[in-house]
Chains A and B, each alone.
Chain A
Amino acid sequence: MSDEVIVTRGLSRRFGELVAVRDVSLDVLRGEIFGVLGPNGAGKSTTIRMLCGILDPSSGEGTVVGFDIRRDAERVKERIGYMTQRFSLYEDLTVEENLKFYAGIYGVPLGKRRRRVGEVLERTGLVARRAQLAGTLSGGWKQRVALASATIHEPPLLFLDEPTAGVDPVSRREFWEQIHALSHDGTTVLLTTHYMDEAERCHRLAFIFRGSVLDVGTPEEIVARRRLRGAELVTRQAREAAEALRRDAAVEEVAHYGNVLRVVTHDDADPEVVVKRVLVGELAPDSVRPVRIGVEDAFVSMVRSDERSEEKSLQAAS
């Protein structure tokens, strides 16, 4: 048995003129937490819908848990768990009834159903709330029930579409503990997210922008490939300092955090050197210190360079 749970080659989907997903080729391995990042409308949801077998690709091919997403969509559906952005629960059913319903829909055998519901309640810490109506739960608890429902049939692969949207930070942290526990037990998890701190908790990431995959790799690999470096400086004239820095060729990006400016340079340029060179006289900062480059910086830089190269090609064409 191969270790690839998802394999796609040249997967594309068009809606009329619009190309929503273009030539996506991915390999997701067993037990991996695989994050799909990208702005709204980049094609994340379309990709997931194709992988779940509810949307046929226009071209390209893919296998999910060993089944062809075109020919064996029904088999794929039985073997995956899926959690929508809105934690689609039946609000007028209790926690336990929701779980029993999904257990029935996913064909968990009657004899096993009770035991399985008990296990999932236990694992997600929902035992005390089993008889509560789902509609009366807070966001974080709803998310737990949604995750419990999506894993009731012990799927080897779990899709999570922006699973932590609108959930408080504490619940998010607990949610990630559960995701890692599932991954440890061998479940593969593919999720989409907007939160960059969450992206860094994934084993591997894929960046999708305008329907295309820009980069795939571990968070460290992706960051390293951008060859970015960063520094934070404290200044009282943040606006003027930011303008001056942005004009410099070595600077990738400048962001404001109150009186603190965060400067990112590209091509491994030393940001402290750049700051000392650019900010002289009145603009000289009170202090400068190096900072770590994260996935967010890599993501922003990738989107920018994609936009720049497109502008160039447009200019060349005209």
Chain B
Amino acid sequence: MTLRPFVVAWKELLQLRRDRMTLAMMVVLPLVQLLLFGYAINTDVRHMPTLVYDQDQSAASRDFAASMVATGYYDVVGHVSGYAEIERSLRRGEARVALVVPPRYEANLRAGKPASLALIVDGSDPQTVASATNTASSMAAARSSALLLERVKQSGGAGLEPVELEPNTWYNPELRTAVYIVPGLVGVILTMTMVMLTAMAVARERERGTLEQLIVSPVRPIELVLGKIAPYVIIGYVQMTVILAAGHVIFHVPFQGSLLLLYALAFLFIAANLAIGLFFSTLARTQQQAMQMSFFFLLPNILLSGFMFPFEGIPRPAQIPALALPLTHFLRIVRSIVLKGGGLDDVYPELLWLTGILCALVVMSSLRFRKKLI
């Protein structure tokens, strides 16, 4: 082994130091993304603008509407007197939900006849539908069982208690989206910057003609690759630290597990992304192409890895390529360690996956890199 990898790494660091823009991007980008994703992504839909079409105008109907507002999910924005008005408001986006109380609602309740309510939901946003209907139906169910109990008690029946389900959410009891998103963001940002920086660093040498000069020199491909990617591994760790620290300070993301374990396992993930970047660089002729490929690669990562949508919800055929993405496995690792305090024995299947993917990538890109150099 010679000192050449160090010479290459030294040169790479010098170039990075001169490239203020890239350097700033590497620190600012994670922060901006953290704030964007942390604040903007909220799968928990509250304060949906709601219309009430009360054809009954009774105490019972007003009571139901009031308790809907009390859940915090619905904001009554108006009372209407016809379906046409509901339709127009939904179409204009002024309201997302409408509660329709039919005539004789209270009378039916009293008489012990079936009493029905209608809930109209704007289905163009599936998130709204789920939140709006789930909350309202559980409210209706609760109301029914309360009524039933009352009746039973009135008629002298005793000892009848309803079955109660007490939900107990672990690891993120307040169901804050940021807690879920921030650890995942570590993976997304690393994927983005690691792939792009490596791909561009090699493409730049090709574009400038310096790669030709290096090929004629006694530097071996492996020495060149090691020297070129070493500085980016350091940058990867800096980014990871920035996101985790800022996530902890700004969004109070807890840190349950071993930091050391996470940083150790992150090495596999960073290396896998660098190998992908290297592979792209053998395909790209220019820096622009390298950039485009990196962005193209980012999209399936965001959509399929489980970063934004639960992995289990992804259709089976799409799960297969998703399993080949390093991010899918790193997300499970980082969430397990950060949020659940997972240890090595909890994440070792993912560790095996990552190792396998890394080996495949290294073989693939070094084969291509060698061939392309000569």
Within 8 A of A (CB), among B1-19: 2-4, 6-8, 10-11, 14-15, 18-19
Residues of B contacting A107 with CB < 8 Å?
Answer: 2-4, 218
- Min C-beta distance of A142 to chain B, whole Å: 12
For the complex, give the distance between the alpha carbons of A4 and B165 in Å: 93
Chain B residues close to A by CB (< 8 Å):
2-4, 6-8, 10-11, 14-15, 18-19, 208-210, 212-219, 374
For the complex, give the distance between the alpha carbons of A104 and B217 in Å: 11
- State whether A92 touches B15 (Cβ < 8 A): yes
What bracket does the count of chain A residues touching chain B fall in? 20 to 34
Interface string of A130-145 (1 = CB under 8 A from B): 0001000000000000
- State whether A77 touches B217 (Cβ < 8 A): yes
CB-defined A-B contacts under 8 Å, sample of 14:
A77-B216, A77-B217, A84-B209, A88-B208, A88-B210, A90-B15, A92-B19, A93-B11, A104-B7, A105-B219, A106-B218, A107-B3, A107-B218, A159-B216
- State whether A54 touches B213 (Cβ < 8 A): no
- State whether B217 touches A105 (Cβ < 8 A): yes
| Residue from A52, A77, A80 with most neighbouring chain B CB atoms (10 Å) | A77
- State whether B214 touches A105 (Cβ < 8 A): yes
Given contacts A77-B216, A88-B208, 19 further A-B contacts (CB under 8 A): A54-B216, A55-B374, A80-B216, A82-B216, A84-B212, A84-B213, A88-B213, A89-B210, A90-B208, A92-B19, A104-B4, A104-B6, A105-B4, A105-B7, A105-B214, A105-B218, A106-B217, A106-B218, A107-B218
- State whether A92 touches B218 (Cβ < 8 A): no
Among residues of B, the one whose C-beta sits closest to the C-beta of A76 is B218
For the complex, give the distance between the alpha carbons of A263 and B207 in Å: 45
- Min C-beta distance of B72 to chain A, whole Å: 55
Q: For B374, give its contact among A54, A86, A90, A104 (CB under 8 Å).
A: A54
Among residues of B, the one whose C-beta sits closest to the C-beta of A103 is B7
For the complex, give the distance between the alpha carbons of A80 and B216 in Å: 9
- State whether A78 touches B218 (Cβ < 8 A): yes
- State whether A101 touches B218 (Cβ < 8 A): no
Q: For A88, give its contact among B3, B8, B10, B209 (CB under 8 Å).
A: B209
A88 and B212 contact, Cβ closer than 8 Å, known pairs A77-B217, A104-B4, A105-B7: yes
Q: For B18, give its contact among A88, A92, A106 (CB under 8 Å).
A: A92
Within 8 A of B (CB), among A54-94: 54-55, 74, 77-78, 80, 82, 84, 86, 88-93
Residues of B contacting A80 with CB < 8 Å?
Answer: 216
- State whether B216 touches A86 (Cβ < 8 A): no
Check: A97 CB closer than 8 A to any chain B CB: yes
For the complex, give the distance between the alpha carbons of A106 and B214 in Å: 10
- Min C-beta distance of A243 to chain B, whole Å: 45
Residues of A contacting B210 with CB < 8 Å?
Answer: 88-90
Check: A176 CB closer than 8 A to any chain B CB: no
For the complex, give the distance between the alpha carbons of A110 and B3 in Å: 10
- Min C-beta distance of A121 to chain B, whole Å: 18
- Min C-beta distance of A6 to chain B, whole Å: 15
Q: Give me the 7 closest cross-chain CB pairs, A-B, nearest first.
A: A104-B7, A88-B209, A82-B216, A88-B213, A86-B209, A77-B218, A88-B210
- State whether B209 touches A74 (Cβ < 8 A): no
Residues of A contacting B8 with CB < 8 Å?
Answer: 105
Q: Is the interface of B mostly helix, strand, loop or mixed?
A: helix
A93 and B2 contact, Cβ closer than 8 Å, known pairs A102-B217, A105-B214: no
For the complex, give the distance between the alpha carbons of A88 and B204 in Å: 12
| Residue from B8, B15, B213 with most neighbouring chain A CB atoms (10 Å) | B213
- State whether A101 touches B11 (Cβ < 8 A): yes
- Min C-beta distance of A155 to chain B, whole Å: 11
For the complex, give the distance between the alpha carbons of A133 and B14 in Å: 12
| Residue from B3, B15, B218 with most neighbouring chain A CB atoms (10 Å) | B218
For the complex, give the distance between the alpha carbons of A86 and B3 in Å: 27
Residues of A contacting B209 with CB < 8 Å?
Answer: 84, 86, 88
Among residues of A, the one whose C-beta sits closest to the C-beta of B211 is A88
For the complex, give the distance between the alpha carbons of A54 and B211 in Å: 13
- State whether A54 touches B2 (Cβ < 8 A): no
Residues of A contacting B219 with CB < 8 Å?
Answer: 105
For the complex, give the distance between the alpha carbons of A159 and B215 in Å: 14
For the complex, give the distance between the alpha carbons of A74 and B223 in Å: 14
For the complex, give the distance between the alpha carbons of A88 and B207 in Å: 10
For the complex, give the distance between the alpha carbons of A74 and B220 in Å: 9
Residues of B contacting A55 with CB < 8 Å?
Answer: 374
Q: For A82, give its contact among B7, B19, B213 (CB under 8 Å).
A: B213
For the complex, give the distance between the alpha carbons of A102 and B4 in Å: 10
Among residues of A, the one whose C-beta sits closest to the C-beta of B17 is A92
Among residues of A, the one whose C-beta sits closest to the C-beta of B208 is A88
Residues of A contacting B18 with CB < 8 Å?
Answer: 92-93, 133
For the complex, give the distance between the alpha carbons of A44 and B8 in Å: 30
Residues of B contacting A93 with CB < 8 Å?
Answer: 11, 14-15, 18
For the complex, give the distance between the alpha carbons of A266 and B208 in Å: 46
- State whether A104 touches B3 (Cβ < 8 A): yes
- State whether A97 touches B14 (Cβ < 8 A): yes
For the complex, give the distance between the alpha carbons of A273 and B96 in Å: 103
- State whether B7 touches A91 (Cβ < 8 A): no
Among residues of B, the one whose C-beta sits closest to the C-beta of A110 is B3
For the complex, give the distance between the alpha carbons of A80 and B6 in Å: 22
Among residues of B, the one whose C-beta sits closest to the C-beta of A150 is B213
Residues of B contacting A105 with CB < 8 Å?
Answer: 4, 7-8, 214, 217-219
- Min C-beta distance of B213 to chain A, whole Å: 4
Within 8 A of B (CB), among A23-70: 52, 54-55
For the complex, give the distance between the alpha carbons of A91 and B18 in Å: 11
For the complex, give the distance between the alpha carbons of A159 and B11 in Å: 24
For the complex, give the distance between the alpha carbons of A159 and B217 in Å: 12
For the complex, give the distance between the alpha carbons of A97 and B8 in Å: 12
Within 8 A of B (CB), among A144-171: 159
Residues of B contacting A77 with CB < 8 Å?
Answer: 216-218
Among residues of A, the one whose C-beta sits closest to the C-beta of B216 is A82
